[in-house]
Structure formats: C-alpha cells, structure tokens
Structure 1
Amino acid sequence: MTALTSADVRHLEQSLRRMRAELATELARLAESLDEVRVTRDEAQDDEHDPEGPALTMEWSRLSGVQHDFAEKLARIDRALQRVDDGTYGVCLRQGEPIGRERLEARPATEFCIDCALELEAEQRR
C-alpha cells in the first residue's frame, strides 16, 4: 500500500472537518432535546406513561445513547485531525503501514488498516 499524497491528505482533511461540523451541529441539537426531556420529565408526575408518546425515561435513554455515540465519533475525528497535524494521518496505529486511500475514503477517521481492524474486531468478539 502506498502512502497518501499531500493532495489526498488535504481532501480527506476536508471530509473530516465537514463531518466534524455536522456532528457538532447534531450534538447541539441532541443537547437541546435532552434538556427538553429533562424539563418535561421533572415536571411530569407519571414518568412511566406519556399518552402522547414513549415513556420519558425511554426517550432520555435513547437520546443519551445517541449523544454518546456521536461524542465518540467526534473524538475519533478529532484524533484523526490531530494525526493530520502531526503528519501521521493515514498510517495504521498498530502496524505503522499505510492504511490505503480507499479505506480512508470510506472511513476517514479510521486508525487501523483493514487487516488490523478485522483482527481487533475478532479479538473483541472472543
């Protein structure tokens, strides 16, 4: 696998920055929704049943889970942008080999080549 060109890195950095901006916007929306649910839940006398929709506790859990997932994605993007800054972007953190442009196009924030990612996934399933 060959290393990325500077044009490749610039292109992928733009993708990462665009993804980051979109996630930051979504996280702000989620924070507002969580605040609304919190206020409604604090005001509600019957938290377990809302005839207008799902139980407030269930909605809180769902939104909290989505917020957590988005925050993790944002952290991965930030780490990728840090690697762009320090010149190590596109290099597998496990083997030190180039990740490959195709994989980075599909997953710009990835830290591992496909072989290492598959190995790590298999280890987690054990």
Structure 2
Amino acid sequence: MHAARLAAERHTTDERLVGLRRAFEEASDASEDSNADDEHDPEGATIAYERSQIAALIDQAQAHLAAIDAAEERLEAGTYGLCSVCGEPIPEGRLEARPTATTCVLHASASAS
C-alpha cells in the first residue's frame, strides 16, 4: 500500500515536472523571440517574474522527488512510517496526506515553531 502511494506520488510529480519544464522553455523562448530588454521593457519584468516563478516550482518538484526517494529507501529499510525523532509510528492519516513525512504530528509541529 505504501509503495503504491509513493509510486503514484512519483508519477504525479514527474508529470508536473514535465509540464513545468515545458512552461519554462516556452517562457524562455518567448523572451528570446523578442528583442525586448527585460530590464527596460514593461513586459520584460513580467517575463522574468514568470520564469523565476516556474524555476521555483521546478526546484520544489525536484525536492519532492528527492523526498520520495528517501521515503522509498526508508520503506526498503523497514523504517518507513516511523518518526525520525521519537521512533513512534506516524499516524496512517498523516502518511496518507503526506507520504514523505518523516515525523509524527507532534514532532512536525515542534519543528515548525
């Protein structure tokens, strides 16, 4: 069940990355096709902002893939679903909502503050 959930998460993230990379390429191509100067053209700032936003989303997706890799390694090692702080089981609902979770709710809350 956990392996299937992680595989589905990987598939969704891979598809998101393909779309984001295509969007980034299109935004880059749009700016190359024009002789606009991003710094001085009123539309230039919008194009640069769009590329920056897409690049940030690509970085997030790649980080999520790394988290999926780590979760799959924990699954193979038999430590998937155990809190990395206290060693107690992570509630199934949390793993369902966030399959790459490494901490129980208590310790996730503590690290966020």
Q: TM-score, normalised by structure 2?
A: 0.86
**How well do the aligned residues superpose, as a CA RMSD in angstroms?**
1.8
Larger RCO: 1 or 2 (CA < 8 Å, sep 6+): 1
Equivalent residues in 2 for 1:102-117, closer than 5 Å? 102-117=93-108
Q: CA deviation at 1:94?
A: 1.4
Question: How many residue pairs end up in the alignment?
Answer: 110
Alignment correspondent of 1:59: 50
Work out the percentage of aligned pairs sharing the same amino acid: 28
Shift of 1:64: 0.8
Q: C-alpha separation between the residues in 2 aligned to 1:37 and 1:64?
A: 11
User: What corresponds to 2:4 in structure 1?
Assistant: 14
State the match for 2:22 in structure 1: 32
**Residue 59 of structure 2, aligned match among 56, 68, 81:** 68
Give, in whole Å, the separation in 2 of the partners of 1:92 and 1:23.
24
Residue type of the alignment partner of 2:30 = T
Give TM-score scaled by structure 1 length.
0.78
For 1:114, the aligned partner's letter is V
What stretches of structure 1 move > 4 A for 4+ residues in a row? none
Which runs of 5 or more residues in structure 2 are unaligned? none
